[in-house]
Each structure stands twice: as structure tokens, then as C-alpha cells.
């Protein structure tokens, strides 16, 4: 298995503050995989999350793509962005189907590591808390293990292409997300979030290697 992506994918591995890593990438002209290395724990809010009050003591930034909040911390999440220009053979105009191929890459990578995973190919299922916490709901192209979400996918499109943002859980605490977002009733929210998502039973390095190897 190769350590890098095949085909015509370019690979970048920036390290920095989450706010810097979420900066616009400029016009998308080719296939690029960006493996982001975060320096400090940061709560990332979705583009439509206005007026959300977050517990103090943690950096908070807002991403340009939609969905609920994601907690990014070193070694806690494998964060991979995938850039794709319009006109690419993998491009899909239907937003609801546009991430299916990407979920398939994650599913194949997990299968290589002995983990059975399923790609959600239905509509958005936000549930009660999915609008606030990314891993409390399920969206098209996202990946489930044992019926619980393990890889979240969001996207931002413009006239040049799409930036898909993937978060593969290496650690998960629904209780921590409830505390950070102040969800109430707290115990009900904890039960929901704990049962909605699960950390992957694999390490970051082998998962990334398998993901890159399965890119079309």
C-alpha cells in the first residue's frame, strides 16, 4: 500500500491554528488532498450556526461549510479536506449525492483495516441535536460503524469547485460536546450524542494511509 495518493491527486500537510487551516483556499483548479494538523483544541462551528453560546476556555472558529459543531484536537480527529474542480469526472451537481463517492473511499479504507462501515446514501437526518453538534446527526456520504457516525463530511461550493471537509473520529465524548454547547436537558442530550457517534478503533496513520490508497 502506497503512502501517498495515486492518480493525479496532490497532497498537502499543513500545520497550524484551526482558524488558519480553515482559511479560503483560492480558486480550485485540480484534485488536492489536505491533511490538516491542528496545534490546539478548537471548537469549529458550522457556517449557519449563529448566536451559539460556547463554554469558556476553548478557541472557537467558524468554517465556511455547513453542519453542526466539531471539536478538533490533536490526535482526536483525523481532519482531511478534499478539493475538487467542477468538471472533474467525480463531480456531481446533485449536492445530495455529491459526497457518496467520498464516503465510499472512507468505507473502503476502513474495510482494509478490518472495520465494517456503511455510507449513508439517504437524506439528511439531523435529529434533535444535529443542527448544533455535527456527530449528533447523519448526512449524505457520511460513514457509520455499527449504526453510529464515525466520519463526518461537509462541503462548500463555489463556481470553481468544492471543498469537502472530512472529520474521522479517533476520540469521542458526547458528554464533552453537551458541556461545550450547553445543550439541555443535559442528560437527555448526553444519551443522544453518546449513542449517535463512535470513535474508530484504528490509528490516525494507518487510516490516512488507507484513505489515500483508496482514492480513485
pLDDT tens digit string along 189-213?
A: 999 999 999 999 999 999 999 999 9
Tell me the average pLDDT across 78-97: 97
Q: What is the pLDDT of residue 50?
A: 78
pTM of this structure: 0.94
Contacts of 113 (CB under 8 A, 6+ apart): 202, 206, 207, 210
* Alpha-carbon gap, residue 139 to 98, rounded angstroms: 11
Q: How far is the C-alpha of 67 from the C-alpha of 24, rounded, in Å?
A: 18
Q: What mean pLDDT is reported for the chain?
A: 94
Stretch 139-166: mean pLDDT, rounded?
Answer: 96
For the chain, give every domain's residue range: 10-213
Best CATH choice for the domain 10-213 from the list 3.30.230.10, 3.30.470.20, 3.30.930.10, 3.30.70.20? 3.30.930.10
Percentage of the chain lying above the pLDDT 90 cut? 87
User: For position 1, what pLDDT does the model report?
Assistant: 44
DSSP class per residue in 104-160 = HHHHHHHHHTT---EE--S--B-TTTTTTBGGGSB-TT-EEETTEEEEEEEEEE-SS
96 C-beta neighbours (distance < 10 Å), count: 14
Amino acid at each position: 500500500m502506497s503512502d501517498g495518493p495515486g492518480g493525479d491527486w496532490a497532497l498537502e500537510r499543513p500545520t497550524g491554528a484551526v482558524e488558519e487551516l480553515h482559511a479560503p483556499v483560492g480558486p480550485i483548479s485540480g484534485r488536492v488532498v489536505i491533511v490538516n494538523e491542528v496545534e490546539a483544541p478548537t471548537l469549529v462551528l458550522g457556517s449557519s450556526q449563529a448566536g451559539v453560546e460556547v463554554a469558556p476556555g476553548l478557541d472557537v472558529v467558524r468554517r465556511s461549510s455547513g453542519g453542526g459543531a466539531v471539536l478538533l484536537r490533536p490526535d482526536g480527529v483525523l481532519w482531511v479536506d478534499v478539493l475538487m474542480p467542477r468538471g472533474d469526472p467525480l463531480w456531481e451537481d446533485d449536492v445530495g449525492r455529491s459526497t457518496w463517492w467520498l464516503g465510499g473511499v472512507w468505507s473502503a479504507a476502513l474495510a482494509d483495516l478490518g472495520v465494517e462501515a456503511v455510507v449513508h446514501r439517504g437524506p439528511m437526518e439531523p435529529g434533535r441535536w444535529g443542527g448544533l453538534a455535527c456527530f449528533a446527526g447523519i448526512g449524505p456520504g457520511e460513514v457509520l460503524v455499527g449504526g453510529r457516525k464515525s466520519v463526518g463530511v461537509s462541503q462548500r461550493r463555489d463556481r470553481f469547485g468544492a471543498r469537502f471537509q472530512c472529520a474521522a473520529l479517533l476520540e469521542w465524548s458526547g458528554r464533552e460536546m453537551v458541556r461545550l454547547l450547553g445543550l439541555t436537558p443535559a442528560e437527555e442530550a448526553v444519551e443522544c450524542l453518546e449513542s449517535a457517534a463512535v470513535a474508530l478503533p484504528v490509528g490516525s496513520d494507518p487510516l490516512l494511509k488507507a484513505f489515500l490508497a483508496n482514492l480513485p
